Amino acid sequence: MQSVLKLTKIRYHNTVVSFRSWWLRFKSSALHQMSRTRKGAHPQPQTTEQPPPPPKDNGPIEVLVFGSINMDYITYLNELPKPGETLQAMYREQCFGGKGANQCMAAAKLGANCALIAKLGQDDLGSIYYEYLQQMGINTDYVEQLEGVETGIAQINVDDNAENTIVVLPGANQRLNSKDVSAAKKLFKTAKVLLCQLETNHKAVLCALKLFKGVSILNAAPAMKDMPPELIQAASILCVNEVEAAQLTDREDIKTLQDAKAAAGELLEKGAQSVIITMGALGAVHLSQSDPKYCIHCPAAPVRYLADTSGAGDAFLGSLAYHILRFPNLNPESHIYAANICAAYSVGHRGTQPSFPGSEIAQDDLCHIYPNFCVIPEETEEEATLRKKQETEAAKAKETETAAKPEAAPAPVAAATPEPEPTPAPVAVAEEPPTAAAPVPAPALVPTPNPILAASPEQAPMRGSIATPRTSSNQTAQPKRVSLDTREVAATMPAARVAQRATEVAAAMVSSQATQRTKEVTAHVVPGRIMHKPRKVQVQKRPIPNRK
């Protein structure tokens, strides 16, 4: 009896497990997502959200993050709205965000022991976020909730091409100051990697960078044109994207690897120790003071499905800090290569923190893979001259576009300048009659009159022609008191009419011959059904032998 009960329990457990696995596969299938979107619900994309791990008390803090915390409201649309335009969204998500919290979560998911120094509001969003950080195993000893202040909020709009626009309301993040840095001196002594951003007070960020003695990474986002050089010089690694690098170096944009190399060189001249410029699909560019001659390009990792680019930069920075911590003896190109793989994984999933890879996806052996990178060659003289020409042409085109609007009024003055030159008029008229008189006998080649000639252009003046009296003998007779331009048109008018008549007559003859030929051919064609009649085939049945 007991054996029967055991067998039934085992079978029941197996059926429940199989049903659960089937239900999970069905929820993540494309058919189920399509049916949900038709009803107006969220498609429930497959994410990498891990079950909350137990709180970490296994040793000192390894990665310290001094930054912001925001609650992200992500809205998905077909296209981003233009100024003054109202669009209807497909659906909306609420995610935990903020550059500081995102980078801390990206490093913690990979397996680092992380701590966060930040400010929250004493409201519902702040309490929910605080509990979430504790559940994910992040040290929250220096995450403070303030009264009378709201938690930071970020509104993110994402279109079908995974492009986004972000608007941030800082809230409690503005209250983070240098006193919080001095209060967490123990963490600054034990941590090995520090991550900072510019969403908080810049003086507090500078104080944190100066106090830290390990590897410090500054993400200069959002960028400033008048960024103090002390911030650039205080960090071990300055990491920016192409837009932020263009703002820091007073450039219009950075589109090519040569532009990124030049911008990285300018940032080194301003005092940066090492520069990393992320360029999206082009990968990343690295340049350091140790080897300023060699600018390294690390191409981006392949992306199977482009879902959402929000949070990709934070995934890159968090994984960069993690791999610098775990593999300090490897070259920076290996760290950047591993960070590119984690960023590519994040781009293929929706959301910010739910899209970050975990320890089972981005294993520790990413840095041991031979990294794919190359040295950006220096510009030759020809390439430099071509680039300068293109820049000058673009600048001239912009100047002409801007100058064309005020110069539109004095245009008639330039048209009246050829009036004081009447002397060359008789020379131009005397040279043209022989050219116009030569093709006059061309219509005599037509053997018979054609009805098409009744609608010849002689009955109506051509476009741009002048109605002048004709003579029977000479086609180039000019009217009296006509300006220079009208004389030239009248002299060349007969030649153009003769050529047009000749082409029309030739086309009419060819078309008439073609139609006559088709009529003759169709008269002698015999239908195929009459020529080939079906024949009856007599089939003789063969006797089947009897097999005994």
Tell me, what's the pLDDT at 540?
57
Among 209-223, 327-341, 413-427, which is the least confidently predicted range? 413-427
Would the pLDDT of 4 be above 90?
no
Residue 20 confidence class, pLDDT cut points 50, 70, 90: low
In a domain, 269, yes or no: yes
Q: Structural domain tally of the chain?
A: 2
Given a contact cutoff of 8 angstroms between Cβ atoms, the answer to whether 92 and 73 are in contact is yes
- Binding-site positions for ATP: 241, 278-283, 313-314, 340
Tell me, what's the pLDDT at 163?
83
375 & 447 share domain: no
Query: Is 365 a catalytic site residue?
Result: no
Q: Name the range with the highest mean pLDDT among 232-241, 372-381, 383-392.
A: 232-241
Would the pLDDT of 425 be above 60?
no
Among 30-34, 40-44, 355-359, 502-506, which is the least confidently predicted range? 40-44
Tell me, what's the pLDDT at 507?
72
- What does the pLDDT average to over 458-469? 42
Instruction: Choose between 445 and 506: higher pLDDT.
Output: 506
CB environment 117-150: b (16+ within 10 A), e (fewer): bbbbbbbebbeebbebbeebbbbbebbbbbeebb
362 & 429 share domain: no
380 & 468 share domain: no
Given a contact cutoff of 8 angstroms between Cβ atoms, the answer to whether 496 and 502 are in contact is no
193 & 334 share domain: yes
Last residue of a domain, one of 334, 364, 385: 385
Residue 26 confidence class, pLDDT cut points 50, 70, 90: low
DSSP string, 267-329: HHHTT-SEEEEE-GGG-EEEEESSSTT--EEEPPPP-S-----TTHHHHHHHHHHHHHHH-TT
In a domain, 234, yes or no: yes
Tell me, what's the pLDDT at 405?
56
Tell me, what's the pLDDT at 162?
79
450 & 343 share domain: no
Locate 153 and state its tokens. Answer: 């909020």
Would the pLDDT of 444 be above 90?
no
374 & 433 share domain: no
Would the pLDDT of 461 be above 50?
no
Would the pLDDT of 324 be above 50?
yes
In a domain, 73, yes or no: yes
Q: What confidence tens digit (pLDDT) does each residue in 229-246 have?
A: 999 999 999 999 999 999
Cα separation of the two ends of the chain? 64
DSSP string, 505-540: HHHHHHHHHHHHHHHHHHHH---HHHHS-------P
- Binding-site positions for substrate: 70-72, 98-102, 199, 314
Locate 536 and state its tokens. Answer: 């009856």
Q: What confidence tens digit (pLDDT) does each residue in 39-59 have?
A: 444 444 444 444 444 444 557
Would the pLDDT of 472 be above 60?
no
Domain hosting 449: range is 424-511
Neighbours of 201 (CB within 10 A): 16
Last residue of a domain, one of 385, 416, 448: 385
70 & 217 share domain: yes
Among 20-34, 205-219, 386-400, which is the least confidently predicted range? 20-34
Tell me, what's the pLDDT at 400?
80
Tell me, what's the pLDDT at 171?
92
User: Per this entry, what is the length of the chain?
Assistant: 548
In a domain, 409, yes or no: no
In a domain, 25, yes or no: no
Tell me, what's the pLDDT at 390?
78
> What's the whole-number average pLDDT of the chain?
75
Residue 121 confidence class, pLDDT cut points 50, 70, 90: very high
Question: Residue 36 contacts by C-beta under 8 Å, 6 or more apart in sequence?
Answer: 42, 43, 44
Residue 395 confidence class, pLDDT cut points 50, 70, 90: confident
Q: What confidence tens digit (pLDDT) does each residue in 133-172 have?
A: 999 999 999 999 999 999 999 999 988 887 888 888 999 9
- The pTM assigned to this predicted structure is 0.62
CB environment 64-92: b (16+ within 10 A), e (fewer): bbbbbbbbbbbbbeeeeeeeeeeeeeeee
Tell me, what's the pLDDT at 224?
81
Residue 436 confidence class, pLDDT cut points 50, 70, 90: very low
Among 5-9, 404-408, 430-434, which is the least confidently predicted range? 430-434
Tell me, what's the pLDDT at 358?
86
Locate 496 and state its tokens. Answer: 């153009």
Alpha helices in 113-228 (DSSP H): 124-135, 178-183, 185-190, 202-211
Would the pLDDT of 278 be above 60?
yes
Would the pLDDT of 383 be above 80?
no
Would the pLDDT of 79 be above 80?
yes
74 & 159 share domain: yes
**Annotated catalytic residue: which of 314, 364, 365, 485?**
314
**DSSP SS3 for 234:** helix
The percent of residues in the chain predicted with pLDDT above 90, rounded, is: 37
In a domain, 357, yes or no: yes
Q: What is the CATH number of the domain that holds 231?
A: 3.40.1190.20
- Binding-site positions for K(+): 308, 310, 346, 349, 351, 355
Q: What confidence tens digit (pLDDT) does each residue in 162-198 have?
A: 788 888 899 999 999 999 999 999 999 999 999 999 9
137 & 222 share domain: yes
Last residue of a domain, one of 334, 367, 385: 385
259 & 154 share domain: yes
- What does the pLDDT average to over 91-102? 91
- Binding-site positions: 70-72, 98-102, 199, 241, 278-283, 308, 310, 313-314, 340, 346, 349, 351, 355
354 & 440 share domain: no
249 & 177 share domain: yes
Neighbours of 188 (CB within 10 A): 19
In a domain, 474, yes or no: yes
In a domain, 434, yes or no: yes
Residue 25 confidence class, pLDDT cut points 50, 70, 90: low
Among 31-45, 124-138, 162-176, 343-357, which is the least confidently predicted range? 31-45
Among 16-30, 80-94, 290-304, which is the least confidently predicted range? 16-30
